[in-house]
Amino acid sequence: MLVISFLAICPRSAVSATPTVAEARAFMDKAEAELLQLSSRAQRAAWVEENFITGDTEAIAAQENERAIARTTELVGEARRFEDLSMPADLAREFKLLKLSLTMPAPTDARLRSELTRIASSLEASYGSGKYCPGPSETKCLGIDDLDVRMAQGRDPKELEKLWTGWHKVGAPMRNRYARFVELSNQGARELGFPDTGAMWRSNYDMTPEEFSADLERLWQQVKPLYLELHTYVRRRLIEKYGAAAKRADGMIPADLLGNMWAQEWGNIYDIVAPESAPATYDLTKILTDRHTGPRQMVEFGENFFTSLGFSKLPDTFWQRSLLARPRDRDVVCHASAWDIDYDEDVRLKLCLHTTADDFTTVHHELGHDYYFLAFRKLPFLFRGSANDGFHEAIGDTIALSITPEYLKKIGLIEQAPPASADIPLLLRSALDKIAFLPFGLLIDKWRWEVFSGQVKPADYNKAWWALREEYQGVAPPVDRSEADFDPGAKYHIPDNTPYARYFLARIYQFQFYRALCQSAGYSGPLHRCSFYESKEAGAKLKSMLELGMSKPWPVAMRTLTGQDKADATPLIEYYRPLLAWLKQQNEEQKAGWSIPRDPLNAQP
């Protein structure tokens, strides 16, 4: 593709010594048209690479990504000419967003930039093609989607330890490449005027990096008491189930016993920790399985929720081009994701669906992304994003909060909603995912920010990783770890370079959004029982916020939907208030919290 600079578009003789607003507007219009084309090409290449993992597709994706990064970097440099110009607010915001648009800033040196993009593609491909081969007793090697199922269903602690250890080997070969990736990305960030890549990421929230870090900690302190009660209760029940395999002198929980490869969500062990005298509720996984619900039907349930709110059906191309099940003939990156290929109507999902309650929820979450894409598609290109990245993640989760018994009854999946006495079991099942996730959602980027800033050196990558996991989550590795391991690489978002604070924010935002939409729907009962399914009033309010895209600072978008202009965990606490009271009763004779060992890599039970 021919790269045309602004000076080529506007010859120097036509450019005034003192730039004007008209020139700035002309620059931005042409820049956005070019970025739209480059970004779409990069998206198409990435789609092919993740669906057909070969050396060729990896190289093509790297080349297109490099092309987009290179031109964006050049445009940021050219835009500096307008830095001191007084502009209308919307135009000034576009210039700001241009500068912050790269999650992987790259050096201006073409050789180094090419090296960075090749490393990035190779890290993502290493994860996508990663396997654990159990041994001669099993002929099949297991990818992460198969391992997810086994971790969820397994109840033999020795087998769980093998699965955990086997998958985490995928990270070790990435270690040196990742260290070089950090070095090159930081160089790109410094050339754009930021101290490092982490500081650049934190600048994307309409506040300073320091203010953003402090605000995340403020939110964590709001929710930490609830997490501590949940941790204490789950720890006791796991010890009752597994005995010595779960009991540690320091009070932490072995990471392989929580039903998830990364111990980030614990809902899969609900059967172990369910209240002893809980009334019968329903098993959504069994219901979906008994109905022979296929991948397309799973997605149609999610689509129908959005159309019940007044949104349009998904484009025909969505069904023609999405990947909903793992192919039999090739490796693909199965990590669930939503795609905006042409930044217009070509939206897609890429996931390998299983007929489970978790994937039923995942579908609603991922479709939230696609409907957000469709809502802001008519805005200028740099405004075609969510108010901040936490908003994008929160939308689908807000919908998923409406997957209540009454909703399931309305759509014919259950015949009768459980009685009010079932509220605690349902809230506990929800909290095992949403509350358990909070410290994990916070620490992923805390680790990366420390790595990018140089506070954590490559020689201490794993030590720092486990220090944060133990401090915030109170979980420990099931076996000794060392710096020969690179456990961060076993989590998709690290090799894929996807910022993670968005997921923590989404866990807070979604309850703010949910309460506001329930109020719009006229609901006035206990918050956790609300479903705004079929409420056109709620849909209209949601749509008005989605259509803003990134055109306004995120507090404006927050206020449009909720009436508040800052993040607040109060609605989350309100939602789980009955559960918190119950957990405190269960934990009356238990010691909450845990102690932190001096060496997190070699702590003994």
Question: Which pLDDT band holds residue 203 (cuts at 50, 70, 90)?
Answer: very high
Question: One-letter amino acid identity for 286?
Answer: K
Question: Which pLDDT band holds residue 11 (cuts at 50, 70, 90)?
Answer: very low
Residue 393 bears catalytic tag = yes
* Helix extents (H) in 402-526: 405-410, 423-453, 461-468, 501-520
Tens of pLDDT, residues 560-583: 999 999 999 999 999 999 999 999
Residue 265 bears catalytic tag = no
pLDDT for 422 equals 86
Residues 6+ apart with CB under 8 A from 577: none
Burial of 91 (0-12, 13-18, 19+ CB in 10 A): middle
What is 306-351 written as a DSSP string? HHHTTPPPPPHHHHHH-B-S--SSS----S-EEEESSSSS-EEEE-
Q: Which of 179, 274, 278, 336 is catalytic?
A: 336
User: Does the pLDDT of residue 7 top 60, yes or no?
Assistant: no
Residue 336 bears catalytic tag = yes
**What is the phi/psi pair of residue 348, to 5°?**
-145, 165
Residue 364 bears catalytic tag = no
Between CA 84 and CA 18 the distance in angstroms is: 10
Structure tokens at 152: 């969820």
- Mean predicted lDDT score pLDDT of the chain: 93
**What is the phi/psi pair of residue 338, to 5°?**
-110, 145
Comparing 51-60, 128-137, 207-216, 304-313, the range with the smallest average pLDDT is 128-137
Q: Which of 132, 372, 503, 514 is catalytic?
A: 503
Between CA 363 and CA 361 the distance in angstroms is: 5
User: Does the pLDDT of residue 19 top 70, yes or no?
Assistant: yes
Tens of pLDDT, residues 204-213: 999 999 999 9
Q: Which of 64, 393, 450, 470 is catalytic?
A: 393
Structure tokens at 503: 């997921």
pLDDT for 12 equals 39
User: If we measure between CA atoms, which residue out of 184, 118, 171, 254 comes closest to residue 491?
Assistant: 171
Strand, helix or coil for residue 292: coil
User: Does the pLDDT of residue 596 top 90, yes or no?
Assistant: no
Query: What percent of the chain has a predicted confidence (pLDDT) above 90?
Result: 87
Q: Which of 335, 354, 364, 528 is catalytic?
A: 335
Q: Which residues of 547-582 are buried (b: 16+ CB within 10 A; e: fewer)?
A: bbbbbbbbbebbebbbeeeebbbebbeebbebbbeb
* Helix extents (H) in 243-314: 270-273, 284-290, 295-308
Q: Which of 325, 493, 534, 537 is catalytic?
A: 493
Structure tokens at 234: 């789950």
pTM assigned to the model: 0.90
Structure tokens at 575: 């939602």
pLDDT for 171 equals 97
Q: Which of 49, 366, 450, 470 is catalytic?
A: 366
Residue 357 bears catalytic tag = no
**What is the phi/psi pair of residue 142, to 5°?**
-110, 130
Q: Which of 364, 369, 392, 528 is catalytic?
A: 369
User: Does the pLDDT of residue 5 top 60, yes or no?
Assistant: no
Residue 528 bears catalytic tag = no
What's the 3-state SS for 118-187? HHHHHHHHHHHCCCECCECCECCCECHHHHHHHHHHCCCHHHHHHHHHHHHCCCHHHHHHHHHHHHHHHH
Residue 292 bears catalytic tag = no
